[in-house]
Amino acid sequence: MPVVDLRSDTVTKPTPEMRQAMFEAEVGDDGYGEDPTVNALEALAAEMMGKEAGLFVTSGSQGNATAMMVHVGKGDEVICEASAHIYGVETGAMAALSGAQPHPVPGVHGKLTPELIEPHVRSRKSNRPRTALIEVENTHNFAGGTYYTPAELAAIRQFADRHSLPIHMDGARIFNAAVAQNVNVRELAQYADSIQFCLSKGLAAPVGSLVVGTKDFIQQARRYRNMLGGSMRQAGVIAAAGIVALKTMVQRLCEDHLHARMLAEAANGTRLKVDMAAVQTNIVMVDVSPLGMTAVQMVEKLLQHGIKVNPISRDSFRLVTHKDLSRGDIEYAIGVLKKLG
Ligand SMILES: *Cc1c(COP(=O)(O)O)cnc(C)c1O
């Protein structure tokens, strides 16, 4: 029986080319800014995103945390989508580390609009938290990998400018958003002041994320990265894999998207329910309630057939496609879904 791991794209292993690049990486002490491979990765990331500077961080959570520490402080409030990663699954880091509180706003397919945000911008009365930042997630993890279009982001940018609010984009999977729409990632990045994106998900690098923004922003973020213990010395060994990820692993994401669509259509052909409008990239949310069981029960049954998935709520589980799944794995998973659904 094959084991098909659809829990997350974080399970991806580094490619042979990454291993080779790691082996050969030139390194130095990044605490002194002397690791040439880290410097090359940060420059490449900034260039690809159309920003002035980049910062290599240990994880997406550390990237978001450092960005929050630069953007906001005590008494501030961050408008984010109600099921945002930064709000629900980063151990309360925003409040704990920056001192700001999240202000969650339910979106549509995980997406905010100026109309949805507007009523939540606080008046400037002295007893109100200060609305200080808009945070958007692109693609949106718990909404099932949905993406913002450039036009949707442009509208939020216009609104933010009217209210003098910066925008942070949690772009953990921003390349999925770009590839799915066949646009250059800069088309999406241009609307945010700062962006965090992950190397260790669909791009298959073993470790790391980047934060990009202005030179001044990144200089401050670097200080906070230090504060969080994120200064990593000869980190070129892992940055080397990140460079390979950015250079070779982006375009192939379309294969993951095709696989997600195949799984979604198959599940939808059973009693399982999938909101097909939300299937836009490499994540599929599956509703098990028509089967009269809970997600946890279904996850257990799938596991008995070698299929690993994560329950997300009482009624739903999540399928995430990635580069370590072959067409054969997907076809096997489809067979199991058809049998159990
Ligand atoms: C995975 C993820 C993160 C955090 O990344 P880690 O490297 O796991 O800390 C942040 N935001 C979103 C949307 C994610 O999916």
Take atom 5 of ligand 1 and give the residue whose Cα is closest: 60
Residue 182: inside a domain:
yes
Ligand 1 within 6 A of 209 CB?
yes
- From 141, 238, 281, the mutation candidate for ligand 1 (largest count of ligand atoms within 8 A of CB) is 141
**306 shares a domain with 234:** no
pLDDT in tens, 321-333: 999 999 999 999 9
SS3 percent helix, strand, coil of the chain, rounded to 5, is 45, 15, 35
Question: Are 231 and 332 in a shared domain?
Answer: no
Question: By three-state DSSP, how is residue 55 classified?
Answer: strand
- Name the average pLDDT for the chain: 98
What pLDDT is stored for residue 130 in this prediction?
98
**Listed residues 207, 223, 248: the one ending a domain:** 248
* Helix, strand, or coil (residue 47): helix
CA dihedral 135, 10, 16, 183 (to 10 degrees): -40
What proportion of the chain, given as a percentage, has pLDDT over 70? 100
Q: How confident is the model at residue 1 (pLDDT cuts 50, 70, 90)?
A: confident
Q: What is the mean pLDDT of residues 210-216?
A: 98
Mutate-to-test residue for ligand 1 from 10, 61, 174, 197, highest number of ligand atoms within 8 A of CB: 61
Q: Are 205 and 246 in contact (CB under 8 A)?
A: no
Q: Read off the CATH number of the domain in which 171 is found.
A: 3.40.640.10
Q: Which atom of ligand 1 is nearest to the CA of 58?
A: 7
Residue 235: closest CA among 14, 7, 32: 32
In the reported structure, the alpha carbon of residue 183 is separated from the centroid of ligand 1 by a whole-number distance in angstroms of 22
Tell me which residue of 22, 44, 48, 8 sits closest to 323, measured CA to CA: 8
Whether residues 206 and 307 fall in one domain: no
Rg, the chain, Cα only: 20
Q: Which residues pair with 103 in a beta bridge?
A: 79
Which tens digits make up the pLDDT trace of 158-189? Answer: 999 999 999 999 999 999 999 999 999 999 99
For residue 10, name the pLDDT band (cuts at 50, 70, 90).
very high
Residues spanned by the domain of 330: 252-340
Cβ of 85 closer than 6 Å to ligand 1, yes or no, is: yes
User: Cα(2) to centroid of ligand 1, in Å?
Assistant: 28
Structure confidence by residue, pLDDT tens digits, 292-340 = 999 999 999 999 999 999 999 999 999 999 999 999 999 999 999 999 9
8 A C-beta contact, residue 47 and residue 247: no
Q: Which of 213, 248, 283 is the last residue of a domain?
A: 248
Ligand 1 proximity of 316 Cβ (cutoff 6 Å):
no
**Quick one: 263 and 241 in the same domain?**
no
Q: DSSP letter string over 104-154?
A: EE--BTTB--HHHHGGGSPP--TTS-EEEEEEEESSBTTTTSB---HHHHH
Q: Does 10 fall in a domain? A: no
141 lines ligand 1 (CB under 6 A): yes
Our count of domains for the chain comes to 2
Handedness of CA 335, 336, 337, 341 (dihedral sign): positive
Supply the pTM of this predicted model: 0.98
Quick: pLDDT tens for 102-137: 999 999 999 999 999 999 999 999 999 999 999 999
Same domain, residue pair 256 and 116: no
Q: Which neighbouring-strand residues pair with 3?
A: none
Answer with the one of 248, 273, 289 that is the final residue of a domain.
248
